[in-house]
Structure 1
């Protein structure tokens, strides 16, 4: 098993220098990306990830010539070469390399990718639950685009880490949007609530799976704005992402959620999600 890299048609070592100094992803964050989880050698919800990638590219007028099928073939080839059964694929597309200027260059896009082994969240940590903080959402207006411009996310995530927390739950105009790298949910009186899709949040792929899991369990899944105070009064809180899957949050800003333990429904949903993975 090995971690591998790919850059514009060539497989490379991860420490091999391959990015030109005039690469626009490096200079401007002018690109988009996806992270795809691989379970037992099979990329999970690959079609959904790649459809989102194409939509993000269209939103920033990035002229990708490759089709979804082309990217599928590339990813499957890379996963096979790596022989990593439990891994994460990072696929990045930028506007390419050209002399630095703000206007779009006449240059081919740049495609890079890594396949790295991933262990996921520690079982004991998941059973204990994670802590989070609230943080002002200082990102741009188009968070539905999965762009490379993640500095506000990074800064908020670091503040959460420095406070001994796993995630920062972002708040804009008095309402929760999402986490720095996750979607946010609360469970109240047997109903799951999450922020409605808009330009202010990313349409999470795991969010799609959670909606299916929720409906399969006969639990209402409601898209509705909610405030930090409402979240603190929830019976359960959890977040989702490609790498953290369904992860219980038991404390926010030093205040316990429910009885301070992972919620019964959250853990039931997580077990159902694992079944969903095997069926994909």
Structure 2
């Protein structure tokens, strides 16, 4: 019987018989310097959600990093093959594109990109979240600001910081001192009854869940100081596996219950998500 904790993996055109099979070279630029981009896609009852939007963002991230155009047909084949091999009632696809093998160092070689699609079971986030703000800013003016790259060390450090303080997510400000994003989530908040979220100019990732919530719920995109969370009436996180997750605590601020704007956003999300798997 297959280990359900192990992913089903497709690499450069074939599904691996054993996901532990060594297939990525030690000189792959994604491994040596984090030169790659990726997408995490929710799977519900064997069907990927909003795959087209995720692939568009994958292409934008690759272009921003200077990688060759992503072979969308190949990605879709990989997705179909792993999901045919493994039915997921609820799961996650990880689509990764790296620059491929290259000389040791920052410079790229002339090899073809490495393309990996992996599918694994996942747990949907439930309940309310506790978050902390971290002392390290996002650089909204950096070369990879807003791109979904495989360089996640900053997020690893921030999540460890949050865990040490009893929280499950860390929230960044940016160099301007404005609210930016979580390590793997976008942040929405309510002031004077109005739903708001940072603009993409803040350096935050253009989250797919964020994008749909802005379209479906009419959230206003605005940049405000990070301390706005201390006076917000409601706060929630949005991401691929969170959907709309209310925040119960942010640093020393607590909310007794889920607010009406958050409830309405969650209800709208559930209704609209059910209408079509690829909105």
Moved more, 98-107 or 109-118: 98-107
For 1:97-136, list aligned pairs within 5 A. Answer: 97-122=101-126, 126=127, 129-136=128-135
Instruction: Report how far residue 199 of structure 1 moved.
Output: 6.5
2:223 maps to which of 214, 221, 225: 225
Q: Do the aligned partners of 2:195 and 2:220 also contact (CA within 8 Å) in 1?
A: yes
Q: Do the aligned partners of 2:8 and 2:119 also contact (CA within 8 Å) in 1?
A: yes
* Partner in structure 2 of residue 218 of structure 1: none
Q: Do the aligned partners of 2:99 and 2:111 also contact (CA within 8 Å) in 1?
A: yes
* Partner in structure 1 of residue 59 of structure 2: 54
Q: Distance in 1 between matches of 2:83 and 2:111?
A: 28
Q: Distance in 2 between matches of 1:139 and 1:188?
A: 23
1:90 maps to which of 79, 82, 94: 94
Q: Distance in 1 between matches of 2:266 and 2:15?
A: 35
* Partner in structure 2 of residue 256 of structure 1: 254
Deviations 1:132-187 (A, max 9, x none): 11113444423211111111111011110111101111112321111111111111
Paired residues in the alignment total 267
Q: Do the aligned partners of 1:64 and 1:109 also contact (CA within 8 Å) in 2?
A: no
Does residue 205 of structure 1 match 2:184? Answer: no
Cα RMSD (Å): 1.7
Does residue 159 of structure 1 match 2:161? Answer: yes
Does residue 9 of structure 1 match 2:22? Answer: no
Q: Distance in 1 between matches of 2:188 and 2:91?
A: 26
Where in structure 1 are there 5+ consecutive unaligned residues? 216-220
Does residue 29 of structure 1 match 2:34? Answer: yes
Q: Do the aligned partners of 2:180 and 2:202 also contact (CA within 8 Å) in 1?
A: no
Instruction: Report how far residue 77 of structure 1 moved.
Output: 2.5
Deviations 1:70-106 (A, max 9, x none): 4223212321221113110001110101331332211
Q: Distance in 1 between matches of 2:136 and 2:50?
A: 28
Q: Do the aligned partners of 2:78 and 2:117 also contact (CA within 8 Å) in 1?
A: no
Does residue 179 of structure 1 match 2:182? Answer: yes
Q: Do the aligned partners of 2:214 and 2:220 also contact (CA within 8 Å) in 1?
A: no
Instruction: Report how far residue 271 of structure 1 moved.
Output: 2.5
* Partner in structure 2 of residue 79 of structure 1: 83
* C-alpha spacing 1:152/1:210, structure 2 compared with 1 (3 Å): same
TM-score, scaled relative to structure 1: 0.89
* Partner in structure 1 of residue 198 of structure 2: 195
* C-alpha spacing 1:101/1:168, structure 2 compared with 1 (3 Å): closer
Q: Do the aligned partners of 1:176 and 1:225 also contact (CA within 8 Å) in 2?
A: yes
Q: Do the aligned partners of 1:187 and 1:234 also contact (CA within 8 Å) in 2?
A: yes
Q: Distance in 2 between matches of 1:238 and 1:145?
A: 22
Q: Distance in 2 between matches of 1:76 and 1:278?
A: 21
* Partner in structure 2 of residue 20 of structure 1: 25
Moved more, 164-173 or 223-232: 223-232
2:69 maps to which of 64, 72, 81: 64
Q: Distance in 2 between matches of 1:79 and 1:204?
A: 23
